Amino acid sequence: MSRLLVGEALPNIPWQPRPNGSSEVVWRYSDNPVIPRHASRTADSIYNSAVVPFQGGFAGVFRVDDRARNMTLRVGRSLDGIDFAIADQPLRFECDTPEIAEFLEGYDPRVVPLDGRYYVIWCNNYHGYTIGLGYTEDFERFVQIENAFLPFNRNGVLFPRKIRGEYLMLSRPSDAGHTPFGDIFVSHSRELTYWGKHRHVLGPKRERGLVNWQMTKVGAGPYPIETSEGWLLFYHGVLTTCNGFTYSMGAALLDLDEPWKVRYRTRPYLLTPETLYEGVGNTQNVLFPCAALTDAATGRIALYYGAADTSTGLAFCEAGELLAYVKDNSEL
């Protein structure tokens, strides 16, 4: 097993070697977008979605904006993590609490394996955007539990195990609009219902008034990856330009026992919109990391990201090389 990644081997992880002549620490899949916008016949776009290993293949919950531009959550399955079958109809949650059972829309899901279940975290519209929470065991039956926070909040991400006997969740408090601000916080819970002990994790970089790729806001991406050196967190950072927002990807290394303490954080971005499918779409210049697969045997990491709020891209990196890069290019 890799001495860096904590977890299971995933021999069928999607993988493509770094292109010849490239020195990038994170590189794109050559046949991106891996999930095109019309992979479901009722979809306008498929992006900002979650993928996990499941029964020898892969399954996930996907953000699918339909052709009325309603934001829905759909189930998707794949044998190889590359070719996905995405449902044509939204998934339905069972819920014993009528007050929260019906929500207007859901988007930007994450899926986290935890306690023998697959927890689904999404941006739920309940009198304003907040963090919806539910679970499945088979990607057929989904159970909705209490929303985690008050509106307004986005980018809810559970840690994949308890820390000191408590569940931890990252989130980004926001507002009713497109949120031209945002810091990442972590909150604690003993039973996934009542959340408290909120701690600041990291915020935008605005030192000395300089323009940079993460100056406006930041938000958690895939659920944190446990390594022997700390929790590896991929996140998005946003730059405000004369043409609007630009979303890029960075990484941070958080303390294992107190993950609100940031040990390292990349000063340069890891990926930024450069290709046509990342720059042009429903929203221009968006690269939004949302899911990661890891193979503890080899240290390989596969990253799924939303591209221009339209389709889904895939990228790759190696844990040892990435952690060395994060340390060597850190600025807290």
Specify if 2 maps to a domain. no
Q: Is 18 inside any structural domain?
A: no
Task: Give the sheet arrangement for strand 153-158, strand by strand.
Answer: 153-158, 167-173, 184-189, 196-202
Rounded alpha-carbon distances, angstroms, from residue 235 to 46, 90, 215, 251, 292: 20, 27, 13, 6, 11
Domain span at 297: 27-328
Please state the domain count of the chain: 1
**Mean pLDDT on 198-227:** 92
Give me 233's structure tokens. Answer: 């967190």
- Band of residue 2 on the pLDDT scale cut at 50, 70, 90: low
Residue 319 in tokens: 């844990």
In a domain, 34, yes or no: yes
Q: Identify whether 160 is part of a domain.
A: yes
Give the pLDDT of residue 62: 98
Tokens 């992880």 identify what position?
13
On whether the CB atoms of residues 47 and 312 are closer than 8 A, the answer is yes
Does 83 have pLDDT greater than 60? Answer: yes
Is the pLDDT at 1 greater than 70? The verdict is no
Q: Is 77 exposed, middle or buried (0-12, 13-18, 19+ CB in 10 A)?
A: middle
11 is a domain residue: no
In a domain, 308, yes or no: yes
**Residue written as token pair 């339209």:** 310
The pLDDT assigned to 189 comes to 98
Which of 306, 250, 268, 297 lies closest to 65 in space, CA to CA?
A: 306
Tens digit of each residue's pLDDT (9 = 90 or more) over 304-325: 999 999 999 999 999 999 999 9
pLDDT of residue 147: 97
Q: Is residue 310 part of a domain?
A: yes
The C-alpha atoms of residue 71 and residue 60 are separated, in whole angstroms, by 16
Q: Read off the pLDDT of residues 248-292 as tens digits, 9 standing for 90 and up.
A: 999 999 999 999 999 999 999 999 999 999 999 999 999 999 999
d(CA 171, CA 122): 11
- Residue 324 belongs to domain with CATH number: 2.115.10.20
**Residue 39 within any structural domain of the chain:** yes
What integer pLDDT is reported at residue 206 of this predicted model?
79
Q: pTM higher than 0.85, yes or no?
A: yes
pLDDT of residue 236: 98
Taking CA atoms, 128 is separated from 28, 267, 269, in Å, by 35, 33, 31
Alpha-helix residue ranges (DSSP H) falling in the chain: 98-101, 276-279, 319-328
Give the DSSP letter of residue 271: B
Averaged confidence pLDDT in the chain: 96
